[in-house]
A and B are shown apart, each in its own frame.
Chain A
Amino acid sequence: MREDTLKMDFAFSEEAKREIKEIMGHYPEKRSALIPLLHLAQKENGYLSEPVMRHVAEVLDLTPIQVYEVATFYSMFHLKPVGKYLIQVCHNLSCSLMGADSLIDYLKEKLGIDIGETTPDNMFTIKTVECLASCGTAPVMQVNDDYHENLTKEKVDALIERLRSN
Chain B
Amino acid sequence: MELILFKDRSVPDLKDIDVYIGRGGYQSLDKGLRLLKPDEIIDIVKRSGLRGRGGAGFPTGAKWDFIPKGKGIRKYLCCNADESEPGSFKDRELMEFNPHLLIEGIILASYAIGAAVSYIYIRGELVYAFRILEKAIREAYKRGLLGKDIRSSGFDLDVFIHRGAGAYICGEETALIESLEGKRGMPRVKPPFPAFYGLYGKPTMVNNVETLCNIPYVVTNGHERFASQGRPRNTGTKIYCMSGDINNPGNYELPLGIPLRHLIYDVAGGIRNGRALKAVIPGGASAAMLTPDQVDILMDFDSLAAAGSMLGTAGVIVMDETRCMVKVALTLSRFFFHESCGKCTPCREGTFWMHEILKKLEAGAGKDEDVDLLLDVANNIGGRTICALADGAIAPVISSIRHFGEDYRLHVKEAGCPYDRIMARA
Binding site for B on A (CB under 8 A): 26-36, 38-39, 60, 62, 66, 69-70, 73-77, 91-94, 96-98, 129-138, 142, 145-147
A39→B162 CA distance, assembly (Å): 11
Report which of A28, A39, A135 forms a contact with B163, defined as CB distance below 8 A: A39
Contacts A74-B124, A76-B125, A136-B243 given; does A36 touch B162 at CB 8 Å: yes
Is B151's beta carbon under 8 Å from chain A? no
A135→B124 CA distance, assembly (Å): 17
Q: Which residues of B contact A142 (CB under 8 A)?
A: 125
A17→B88 CA distance, assembly (Å): 36
Q: Which residue of chain A lies nearest to B323 when distances are taken between CB atoms in the complex?
A: A97
Q: Is the CB of A35 within 8 A of B164?
A: yes
The proximity string for B residues 159-174 relative to A, scoring 1 for CB distances below 8 Å and 0 otherwise, is 0101111111000000
Contacts A70-B184, A97-B244, A97-B319 given; does A131 touch B328 at CB 8 Å: no
Q: Is the CB of A93 within 8 A of B165?
A: no
Q: Is the CB of B185 within 8 A of A73?
A: yes
A29→B319 CA distance, assembly (Å): 47
Contacts A135-B87, A135-B241 given; does A76 touch B165 at CB 8 Å: yes
Contacts A93-B331, A97-B319, A130-B86 given; does A137 touch B167 at CB 8 Å: no
Q: Is the CB of B85 within 8 A of A93?
A: no
Is B407's beta carbon under 8 Å from chain A? no
5 A-B pairs with least C-beta separation: A75-B166, A74-B165, A34-B182, A31-B182, A135-B243
A4→B243 CA distance, assembly (Å): 48
Q: Is the CB of B331 within 8 A of A92?
A: yes
Q: Is the CB of A97 within 8 A of B245?
A: yes
A–B Cβ pairs within 8 angstroms, 16 of them: A27-B160, A32-B181, A32-B182, A73-B167, A73-B341, A92-B86, A93-B317, A94-B243, A97-B245, A97-B323, A131-B87, A131-B88, A133-B89, A135-B243, A136-B243, A136-B249
Contacts A35-B162, A136-B241 given; does A73 touch B184 at CB 8 Å: yes
Report which of B84, B183, B244, B331 forms a contact with A133, defined as CB distance below 8 A: B84
Is B253's beta carbon under 8 Å from chain A? no
- Report the count of interface residues on B (CB-CB < 8 A): 53
Q: Is the CB of A133 within 8 A of B126?
A: yes
Q: Is the CB of B181 within 8 A of A29?
A: yes
Q: Which residue of chain B lies nearest to A138 when distances are taken between CB atoms in the complex?
A: B243
A36→B121 CA distance, assembly (Å): 11
Q: Which residues of A contact B341 (CB under 8 A)?
A: 73
Q: Is the CB of B163 within 8 A of A131?
A: no
Q: Is the CB of B251 within 8 A of A136?
A: yes
Is B180's beta carbon under 8 Å from chain A? yes
Contacts A93-B317, A97-B244 given; does A35 touch B165 at CB 8 Å: yes
Q: Which residues of B contact A132 (CB under 8 A)?
A: 125
Q: Which residue of chain B lies nearest to A69 when distances are taken between CB atoms in the complex?
A: B184
A-facing residues in B164-202 (Cβ within 8 Å) = 164-168, 179-185, 200
Q: Which residues of A contact B88 (CB under 8 A)?
A: 131, 133, 135
Q: Is the CB of B85 within 8 A of A38?
A: no
A39→B127 CA distance, assembly (Å): 12
Q: Which residue of chain A lies nearest to B86 when distances are taken between CB atoms in the complex?
A: A131
From A69, A92, A135, A142, residue with most partner B Cβ within 10 Å: A135
Q: Is the CB of B249 within 8 A of A135?
A: yes
Q: Which residue of chain B lies nearest to A142 when distances are taken between CB atoms in the complex?
A: B125
Give chain A nearest CB distance to B245 CB in angstroms: 6
Is B83's beta carbon under 8 Å from chain A? yes
Give chain B nearest CB distance to A148 CB in angstroms: 12
Report which of A73, A93, A147 forms a contact with B128, defined as CB distance below 8 A: A147
Is B262's beta carbon under 8 Å from chain A? no
Q: Which residues of A contact B184 (CB under 8 A)?
A: 69-70, 73
A94→B245 CA distance, assembly (Å): 8
Is B123's beta carbon under 8 Å from chain A? yes
Q: Is the CB of A131 within 8 A of B84?
A: yes
Q: Which residues of A contact B124 (CB under 8 A)?
A: 39, 74, 76
Is B51's beta carbon under 8 Å from chain A? no
Q: Which residues of A contact B89 (CB under 8 A)?
A: 133-136
Give chain B nearest CB distance to A23 CB in angstroms: 9
Is B17's beta carbon under 8 Å from chain A? no
Q: Which residues of B contact A60 (CB under 8 A)?
A: 182
Q: Which residues of B contact A28 (CB under 8 A)?
A: 200
Q: Which residue of chain B lies nearest to A37 when distances are taken between CB atoms in the complex?
A: B182
Q: Which residues of B contact A91 (CB under 8 A)?
A: 331
Give chain B nearest CB distance to A120 CB in angstroms: 27
Q: Which residues of A contact B133 (CB under 8 A)?
A: none
